[in-house]
Amino acid sequence: MAKSKGTLYLIPNTLGSGTDKYATQQLASTVSTLEHFIVEEIKSARRLLRQLGITRPLEELDFRMLNEHTRSQDIDSVIEPLLQGHDMGLVSEAGVPCVADPGSNVVALAHEAGVKVVPLVGPSSILMALMASGFNGQQFTFNGYLPREKADRIRKIKQLEQLATAGITQIFMDAPYRNNQVLEDVLQTCRMETKLCIASNITCDNERINTKTIMDWNVRKPDIHKMPVMFVLGR
């Protein structure tokens, strides 16, 4: 007899490196038992499953899409297997699910339906950048993406600098193709003594994480165009 409700497992994805850098036995063994998945992109989800050692034909698995194009009225159908007693895995495009991606909407519905939610350990670029920055890790804010319009972005940067100067570490990111412009705005807006950590390609072979003052960054600006980057302002 099927369980009344399934369990929703939050499955971390890579940040660009292989799973050998973070995959645990619990993660691999849990994923091997699942037949239903909620994913942002089927191709990358299948690649992750192969890296985790899944040997069954992936065509036999049920993949349900959840991304920025998913309508709110369609999310109910995404979690239907859970309500029928089947366990499901929620896979992010990169890093841990539900942080800076639409997975949190599914988790909220799961809680409302009385479904057990189990987060599995994996890489978080946000926390790893904070850990390596040297800034206050007891008070911090992840701000997500900065405004697209330059004037709005500069106003936001000034606000974040004030908070960072007060001791509340500020973490933010942007679309990879805007990285250099965002960096330029930070370097032109913030005070010379303000500290900035730039964490790029986290967990990859070409990972670079450095904390310097704005003055020092202005001396030698890195080219971070189209790289996955976390910016961290602190003191």
CA 152 to the chain's CA centroid: 24
- Of the listed ranges 17-21, 188-192, 207-211, the least confidently predicted one is 17-21
Per DSSP, the residues of 60-105 read GSEEEE-STT--GGGHHHHTHHHHTT--EEEE-SSSSTTSSSTHHH
Where exactly does CATH 3.40.1010.10 map onto the chain?
A: 7-119
Pair 48, 19: CB distance under 8 Å: yes
**Fold exhibited by the domain 125-234:** 3.30.950
Per DSSP, the residues of the chain read ---SS-EEEEE---SSS-GGGT--HHHHHHHHT--EEEES-HHHHHHHHHHTT--S-GGGSEEEE-STT--GGGHHHHTHHHHTT--EEEE-SSSSTTSSSTHHHHHHHHHHTT-EEEE-----HHHHHHHHHTS-SSSEEEEEEPPSSHHHHHHHHHHHHHHHHTT-EEEEE--GGGHHHHHHHHHHHS-TT-EEEEEESTTSTT-EEEEEEHHHHHHS----TTS-EEEEEE-
Percent of the chain with pLDDT over 90: 84
Where exactly does CATH 3.30.950.10 map onto the chain?
A: 125-234
Residue 1 has pLDDT above 60, yes or no: no
pLDDT per position as a tens digit, 96-118:
999 888 899 999 999 999 999 99
Gap between the Cα atoms of 207 and 211, Å rounded: 14
pTM, to two decimals: 0.91
Which of the four pLDDT bands, split at 50, 70 and 90, describes residue 3? low
The CATH code for residues 7-119 is 3.40.1010.10
